[in-house]
Chain A
């Protein structure tokens, strides 16, 4: 308990003594963790949109004149990535048309006959498999024409994959940058107390005891930085979501506060962990050298 009190008092002293450096470290880690949080939210939203679009994915296959739609449906169902095949009869197609465009449905049947063809409605499991399903369907001779609106979903899926890789790269660069900044801050603090540490080690303080105030200093700075980043992220995300909803109302975005809260907690944890490791490495390097005999 006495040791912890000492570490806390000395860690706070170190922050106050090097307040300019402490401020810069907090700002840097705040920027870094904001960047990490923002890229994670981008990826989460891209995946959310892809999931939403995938739920809507279907291919419309029109049959050749005189083709048996039962056989065509069975053939289509055997294809990989096909989730479900539904037969749409002429009557069902007309009924759908009436529902979608009640004022124009009558003009279609004005000649007394339903001109709409029979078709198969094929549900696909994932957006990026739509292209292969369409190619396979085109190879079935019973199918005359294929219509699908999966281009957008496909593009989103590609974007989601890219965003995933991009954010991983950002994550690695940002965490490294944050660790380097914290490492240097702690190293400067360690060197400023070089004489004191030397005396501490000479009178029998353990390396762990010597490291504690510096590690605490690092965790406090890293924790404040990542906490600030989380607050800014929550505020700015809420603003961006509100504006996007006004501009692109049909775009399905993540709006749950729980996601942002969870992300904030992860960021604070990550900030504290990165700073803990960076501080430990900085002090350990110094004490190892200081205790090495000539």
Chain B
């Protein structure tokens, strides 16, 4: 799904400008890093795509969906094609690894056989099949994030949004997660990843969009995290 931002601004009450006049084109299958200091507007931009945040001005289109006016039923249908990875994992502590991943397919009304098969495949892919009966508090940070990745991709979304997915992880684990996300992107999924991790951005070079004070200040095809002290 292509993603297009046309003059998008977001002002939170009373007058906090989170995004200002953002124009972006992200074609299907692209990998994009969103970089910028804390509070620059990266998360707001991601939340605009999931329509948790509605722009004050401007237009966002994702595939055939125009997000300005979308019904609740259409929003549900639209969100089925978006996978989200949060920095703090957002796993349900009373469900085990298998149930946390299967939960997505269940709420989408998939038949139980398909739920079992598909969840098994994904857990195998993220190397967590043997730990499927453990609960989130029994897992390491890296394992929890791998569960979050598995949950985000189990229904094969067209777009994967990752909000600082390696923020709580050591470098080695962060690399593992990064390789996993890259492999998902290689299968044609558009990935937009907000990150502060300079090493990963520089090691796995992709398109980099720099944001500061809600404005897009840099957009490079194969960029680096920080070029000559600038974003």
Which positions in A face B, CB cutoff 8 Å?
2-3, 5-6, 195-196, 199-207, 209-210, 288, 291, 293-294
Contact = CB atoms under 8 A, between A and B. Distances in A.
A156 B109 CA distance: 60
B79 A203 contact: yes
Contacts of B73: 206
B217 interface: no
Contacts of A209: 107, 109
A196 B104 CA distance: 11
Contacts of B118: none
Contact of A5 (B76, B77, B112): B112
B92 A199 contact: yes
Nearest to A195: B92
B213 to A, nearest CB: 19
A273 B189 CA distance: 46
Interface of B: 12, 47, 50-54, 72-73, 75-82, 84, 90, 92, 103-104, 106-112, 115, 151, 155
B215 to A, nearest CB: 20
A207 B72 contact: yes
A205 B76 contact: yes
A294 B80 contact: no
3 nearest interchain CB pairs? A204-B80, A293-B54, A205-B107
A202 B79 CA distance: 6
Nearest to B50: A202
Contact of B108 (A199, A205, A293, A294): A205
A203 B51 CA distance: 12
Contacts of A207: 72, 76
A291 B77 CA distance: 13
A293 B54 CA distance: 5
A203 B109 contact: no
17 contacts: A2-B106, A2-B109, A5-B112, A6-B106, A199-B92, A202-B50, A203-B79, A203-B84, A203-B107, A203-B155, A204-B79, A204-B107, A204-B108, A206-B72, A210-B107, A293-B52, A294-B54
Nearest to B110: A2
Nearest to A287: B72
B155 to A, nearest CB: 7
A203 B108 contact: yes
B116 to A, nearest CB: 12
A196 B92 contact: yes
A231 to B, nearest CB: 35
A97 B160 CA distance: 101
